[in-house]
Amino acid sequence: MDKDFVLKVGKNIKKYRIKKGLSQFKLAIEIDCTTSAISGIEIGRSDTTLTKINAIAKALDIEPYQLLQFEE
């Protein structure tokens, strides 16, 4: 697992989730997973699948590629 990449993706998920005004709980409900799974992804403790990235992006009303674009 590329820890740096996983951390960056998690940071983006958190950024967009907060921007949309969703709690981890509400996001978890929207994508049918647990709050601890969202937390683990956001802090880089757990990797995720492309399917989950797609579901998260849809719930956040963004395109999946936006979760993979990192600020320098």
Q: Could you report the per-residue pLDDT of 1-24, keeping only the tens digit for each? A: 789 999 999 999 999 999 999 999
Tokens of 68: 């993979």
pTM of the model: 0.92
13-57 per-position pLDDT tens digit: 999 999 999 999 999 999 999 999 999 999 999 999 999 999 999
Classify residue 63 by its DSSP letter: -
Of the candidates 18, 6, 2, the residue with the CA atom closest to the CA atom of residue 43: 6
